[in-house]
Amino acid sequence: MELLRRISGPFKEFGAGLGALYVLDRVLRKLPVNCGIYPYAFVVQAIPDKSLLPPALARNGRAERLSPGSALLEEADLPATVVAQRFARGDGGVAALRKEKLVGYAWWARRVYPESEVSCLFEWMDAPRAVFDFDVYVKPEHRMGLGFMAVWDSLLQELRQSGVELSYSRISRFNLASLRAHARLGARPIGQVTFLRLGAVMVAFSRNPMAVRLGWVGAKSLRLRLSTQGVRWVSASDGGESAADARGLEP
């Protein structure tokens, strides 16, 4: 009965199609080579012109822009090499504080985002009015309350002050809580892509447009362009950011 419960659980939680992907992902990750499935949902959100938090809840909190050498980076426990690469690429980061204690942080890319998890470049043509947010982190002790809202509000505050109008995000379709949270905050879905990693090989599947792409881990040969109208695959001949421009700049 326990085995049956474990097998049927993902199908009850995710449905038939996504549940099958989840089970297959668990199996692949037990192999001796690095394998896995990464089903991404891409969304876009307009930057609101006011805070998400009511004044009473925002009173004891504030946002602080992250900068090289900030003590908050040590508290965030981010590897120094990762932080250096983000700043070198021109990414921005912000920390959410409540009573001067770190609640969490969020980052955004301004021109291109090299997603190391699936070795794919995400790009968008509507910069600087649009950015790509990533690594939205909430400390465990704040996850049951308004922690996510506080971090997201800090991110939106920084983007609003910089004149940004839109932010793109990628969310694992396995992360139902994050999908629901983004939907409550007004995020609109623009597409889905599923990446399959088999050792050094990366295979990507998209439904709209229907396509299959083959790439290599670490090569950044896969390029996905985001827009408010959807997502599409691009080649080097289409222009925009190239793999060479982002080589070595991991997120």
Give me the pLDDT at residue 250, please. Answer: 46
Give me the pLDDT at residue 245, please. Answer: 46
Give me the pLDDT at residue 159, please. Answer: 96
Distance CA(179)–CA(219), nearest Å, equals 29
Query: For residues 121 and 224, is the Cβ–Cβ distance under 8 A?
Result: yes
Write out residues in the chain with pLDDT < 70, as ranges: 1-5, 56-57, 236-251
If one counts every other C-beta atom within 10 angstroms of the C-beta of residue 174, the result is: 18
Q: Residue 26: which residues within 8 A CB-CB, separation 6 or more?
A: none
Give me the pLDDT at residue 240, please. Answer: 54
Measuring CA to CA, how many Å separate 120 from each of 77, 82, 225, 235? Answer: 25, 17, 10, 12
What structural domains and CATH numbers belong to the chain? 31-246 (3.40.630.30)
Indicate left, alpha or beta for 54 from its phi (over 0: left) and psi (-120 to 50: alpha).
beta
Q: Which long-range contacts (CB under 8 A, 24 or more apart) does 22-25 make?
A: 22/174, 25/174
